[in-house]
Structure 1
């Protein structure tokens, strides 16, 4: 497996795979050539034998100069449980540290228990919120459209 920066030419392939990997219809403005061009250093693609098997898309915060944000990670269902997601996150962490970022933030849906467990194993902490769902702190209306999310934070340390 190799992990490399995304290129604008990868956009079509990502669009073709994303909904199938997600398990339901998924669309995002991030799946565009402009997003990849502007955030190339924090958009990473995992490939095996030339086949796309996962990706992470994020960005460096302009508001908080010590933070980076992971917006979405997807792994081909046939490759889940094989360390692809972990490798993508670690590659993102390395990039963030190289760009002087020490805090990584990301979110997941409160019903995605496997995702919550995955992030916790990677050293993320659940950020306290005003409400809890099934004992999990949840930011209600996270996206301004009624969507609730579990908010994570990870502190990076140069090694």
Structure 2
């Protein structure tokens, strides 16, 4: 497996793969050349045999100087459970640690049990919130679009 930075010119391929892996259209402003251009060092692709097996896109927070944020990670269905996601996260951790970050946050939907279990294995914990759903702390209207998310945090140092 090879982990490398994503280039802005690849964003069309990333968008197409994300839609296929997601099972429908998946559109987000992070799937843009400008996002990859400005956050290139923390936008990583995993390749196996020269083919895209997964990717992670994140950034170092300007507001919280000790924090980094993983905005999205996806692994192709045929490579799930094979260490691709872990390798992407570990590469991200290395890059943000080198930039002085000691905390990484990300979110997942409360109903995604596999995602919650994966993050727990990597050492993430659920951040307490004002609300709970089915015993999980949820941030209500997390992104301003009405969704609920479980906020996950990992200390790197």
> Residues 72-102 of structure 1: CA distance to partner in whole angstroms, max 9, x if unpaired?
0000001000010011000000001001100
Determine the C-alpha separation between the residues in 1 that align with 2:120 and 2:127.
11
Structure 2, unmatched stretches of 5+, are: none
Determine the C-alpha separation between the residues in 1 that align with 2:107 and 2:72.
9
The residue that corresponds to 1:85 in the other structure is: 85
The residue that corresponds to 2:135 in the other structure is: 135
The residue that corresponds to 1:108 in the other structure is: 108
Shift of 1:9: 1.9
Shift of 1:15: 1.3
CA-based RMSD of the aligned residues comes to 0.8
The residue that corresponds to 1:12 in the other structure is: 12
The residue that corresponds to 1:121 in the other structure is: 121
The residue that corresponds to 2:59 in the other structure is: 59
The residue that corresponds to 2:144 in the other structure is: 144
Structure 1, unmatched stretches of 5+, are: none
Determine the C-alpha separation between the residues in 2 that align with 1:24 and 1:13.
15
SS at match of 2:118: helix
Stretches (4+) displaced over 6 A? none
The residue that corresponds to 1:31 in the other structure is: 31
Deviates more, 1:147-156 or 1:6-15: 6-15
Size of the aligned set, in residue pairs, is: 157
Q: TM-score, normalised by structure 2?
A: 0.98
